[in-house]
Amino acid sequence: MIYVFLANGFEEIEALAPVDILRRAEQTVKTVGVGGKVITGSHGIPVTADIEEKDVTTDDMDMMILPGGMPGTLNLEKSPIVTACARYCAANGVYLAAICAAPSILGHLGLLEGKEAICFPGFEGELKGAQISEKPVCVDGCIITAKGMGVATQFGLTLAGLMAGKETADKIHASIQSVDR
């Protein structure tokens, strides 16, 4: 199961582009409302989550995704369930993905020590112990970080590649690009 945690003030594109791409890759994805079932993004778009945070279990967790946005990132970090799941992922080799400001949560938890990571410009100081990458999407072991909204599709394709294989991610990428032609 892939869990995408949403808290009020999340960046809509950073959350929903990966959800869309992972579902195209036929992955089981659940959006998780932190603080309720209906969560409002940073641009006023309400999203009804599949489940609430109290319903998350690590028993079937294959990946955890944290979108950025403000104050969404701060609201995610306040959740004991979010931080416990992040620690679980890091300790058990489960994919842990964060984009934009959300990698700061991983930094504050000490999960980026010795890892290559990227975040939204200006948050680098929050990535405690990390080697700051120049890549827009960075994979270091089971930790995946991305710069921000502008690379949300690339982030989603990277996650799809990890979960469903490069061939599947490449097919999805080709189908997305064919619209531009």
Q: What is the CATH number of the domain that holds 104?
A: 3.40.50.880
pLDDT the model gives residue 179: 57
What's the total number of domains in the chain? 1
Return all residues near 117 (Cβ < 8 A) that are at least 6 apart.
103, 106, 107, 127, 130, 131, 132, 133, 138, 140, 143, 145
Is there a domain that residue 45 lies in? yes
Q: Do 4 and 81 contact (CB within 8 A), yes or no?
A: no
Is there a domain that residue 179 lies in? no
Is there a domain that residue 17 lies in? yes
Is there a domain that residue 162 lies in? yes
Q: Which domain holds residue 103?
A: 2-173
Is there a domain that residue 46 lies in? yes
Radius of gyration of the chain (CA): 15
Is there a domain that residue 164 lies in? yes
Alpha helices per DSSP H over the chain: 12-24, 72-77, 80-92, 103-108, 152-164, 166-177
Is there a domain that residue 108 lies in? yes
Is there a domain that residue 97 lies in? yes
pLDDT the model gives residue 177: 85
Tell me the C-alpha distance between 120 and 79, whole Å: 21
> Along the 181 residues of the chain, how does pLDDT read in single tens digits?
999 999 999 999 999 999 999 999 999 999 999 999 999 999 999 999 999 999 999 999 999 999 999 999 999 999 999 999 999 999 999 999 999 999 999 999 999 999 999 999 999 999 999 999 999 999 999 999 999 999 999 999 999 999 999 999 999 999 988 655 5
pLDDT the model gives residue 11: 98
